[in-house]
Amino acid sequence: MKIAFFDIDGTLTSEKDGSVPDSAKSAIQRARQAGNLMFINTGRCFQNVEERFREVGFDGYVNGCGTHIMIGNETLSYESQPADRIHELIDLSRKIDVDTLYECRYYVTFDPKHTLTHPDAIRQCQRFLDRNYDIAMDIDNPAFTCDKFVIWYREESQLNEIRKFTDKYYDCIDRGGTFREFVPKGYSKATGLQKVLDYYNLPLDSAYAFGDSNNDLAMLSYVKHSVVMGNTESHELKVKAAHLAGKASEDGLAKALSDLGFFE
């Protein structure tokens, strides 16, 4: 038995338009029919794993960079952040005027008291609205918290200031440009992958990880069978790849599953 872990954006989906290629859907279904396990392994929290991804058919999900693991629709493990810590982050984000997205398994939200200024943050907010997400959360409620968060900054001084606080508790992942992802220390796509292996009592050698961006680096470095999509912009990922697949938009995922024996 083999077990595959797929990033979503640029791996499961086309790097051109964000759609899930029909070849990827059928390949994942065929691999499951052959007796293999298929998992999503994403930085997205589960609320943001859209139905169009779930309906492809997966055996489970590693969400939020390992903070929330599901076998089928049942939670295996879950880690949320202390509310007081997140409220310190909220205060700091307001003070230094940085665009922060708070992510949880139940919701995603920006600060309603903060006007977004970074073009990429504005575009992301609009994408949520286009999906009919309710992002109007009362983040000043003392009980408000989240699982992880991302920021868009304009000046290096903003990043430096926020990291004086976050580096004690979170790993900072460079997502390119002025976009950073913050994940609780001790959690990653790799730790989530290992917990799934432990659940099924499977050896690490049975795991195959598919990704294309820097937040996939942990799981791609962890497994022997690392598959990097041809549309990646990261030279580091290409160098680490045990298998370099084609572009997601050009049936790269389906061809890789075939080449790696998932249909046998």
Q: What is the mean pLDDT of residues 192-218?
A: 96
User: What is the model's pLDDT at position 172?
Assistant: 97
Which of 73, 149, 69 has the alpha carbon at shortest distance from 104?
149
Query: What's residue 215's pLDDT?
Result: 87
Going from the C-alpha of 16 to that of each of 20, 52, 216, 250, the distances in angstroms are 11, 17, 19, 10
For 111-146, how does the pLDDT look when each residue is reduced to its tens digit (9 = 90+)? 999 999 999 999 999 999 999 999 999 999 999 999
pLDDT over 90 (residue 236) = no
Tens digit of each residue's pLDDT (9 = 90 or more) over 130-187:
999 999 999 999 999 999 999 999 999 999 999 999 999 999 999 999 999 999 999 9
Q: Distance between CA atoms of 114 and 217, rounded to whole angstroms? A: 32
Tokens 């990646």 belong to residue? 232
Using CA atoms, how far apart are residues 111 and 130, in angstroms rounded to an integer? 18
Domains of the chain (ranges; CATH) run 3-78+187-259 (3.40.50.1000), 83-184 (3.30.1240.10)
Q: What is the pLDDT of residues 13-60, one digit of tens each?
A: 999 999 999 999 999 999 999 999 999 999 999 999 999 999 999 999
Instruction: Check: CB of residue 58 under 8 Å from CB of residue 28.
Output: yes
If one counts every other C-beta atom within 10 angstroms of the C-beta of residue 16, the result is: 12
